[in-house]
Amino acid sequence: MDLVKTDQIVQWLNQQIENTKHKGFVVGISGGIDSALVSTLCAMTNQPVIAVSLPIFQETELADRHIAWLTKRHPNVQGLTSDLSYVLDRFEHDIWDSLFKYNKHGDEHLSELVSANLRSRLRMCALYAYANASKFLVVGTGNKIEDFGIGFFTKHGDGAVDVSPIGDLLKSEVTCLANHLGILHDIVQASPTDGLWPDGRTDEQAIGATYGELEYAMKWLNHEITSNYLSERQVEIINIYKDRHFANQHKMRMPLICQIEKE
């Protein structure tokens, strides 16, 4: 089954190149399992691939190791690093004070959220700069739970992509494929994190649930699991899933358009 899924995704990626007349793929490498899997699948197309690490005041050991692993096995992959720490620093230095004069309530969480989303959007700008310069496609690394379940991504940040090869895969399926393709064990076993928060919080800490728990909630709500009994924790997870799913609808659909009545 893993081989079938792998072949389907690789064929689909090649089809996107043919359909769009682009010349290759750009993938942001975070050091996490999703971007490791996506970049590996892109490499398997034999199309040109730019695998780029985009650190912002963070450690890049796992990202560097994956890029080294990938480029050694696939000559069509070029590994790059663009440190965006300076860009964020200049942004904060030049306009941060002015920006938060408008934050009348002094909400500390808002400041953290603005910074986290800014990091993601800076990376998006860098990825599209590489893509535009080479006529490549920007490849998304979000899985099904993140992109279409709870909307756990930054609008116009890591959610801004041209193609999404693992958007229909649950996290458990991502793990199976990563193991099947021999991706570094340390990456497969690492706690998922978006790397956007100064305190280094994991996805589980940010969401309040593991991906395994969220998968159960998605399947239960989609009637793929029939159970007459839910534990107190399962009820809590289902509520977390539902709250995030509905709150983040604005990320998961096209912008609302004002429909003008015709005369």
Q: How far apart are CA 125 and CA 130, in angstroms?
A: 9
Tell me yes or no: is domain 2-193 CATH 3.40.50.620. Answer: yes
**What does the pLDDT read at residue 3?**
86
Question: What residues are paired with 28 via a beta bridge?
Answer: 52
DSSP 50-70: EEEE--SSS--HHHHHHHHHH
Q: How far apart are CA 48 and CA 76, in angstroms?
A: 5
Every domain of the chain and the residues it spans = 2-193
With beta carbons less than 8 A apart as the criterion, state whether 163 and 140 touch: yes
Question: What residues are paired with 51 via a beta bridge?
Answer: 27, 79
Q: How far apart are CA 227 and CA 156, in angstroms?
A: 38
pTM of the model: 0.92
103-139 pLDDT, tens per residue? 555 555 557 888 889 999 999 999 999 999 999 999 9
160-205 pLDDT, tens per residue? 999 999 999 999 999 999 999 999 999 999 999 888 887 888 999 9
The C-alpha angle 30, 24, 148, rounded to 5 degrees, equals 50
The sheet with strand 49-53 has its strands ordered as: 77-81, 49-53, 25-29, 137-138
Would the pLDDT of 31 be above 80? yes
Q: How far apart are CA 183 and CA 200, in angstroms?
A: 23
Q: Please name which of 54, 50, 70 lies closest in space to residue 130, comparing C-alpha atoms.
A: 50
**E strand or H helix that includes residue 137:** strand 137-138
With beta carbons less than 8 A apart as the criterion, state whether 137 and 16 touch: yes
| Cα four-point dihedral sign 108, 110, 113, 118 | negative
How large is the C-alpha radius of gyration of the chain? 19
Query: Within 44-170, where are the H helices?
Result: 61-73, 85-100, 108-134, 144
Q: What's the chain's average pLDDT?
A: 92
Would the pLDDT of 100 be above 70? no
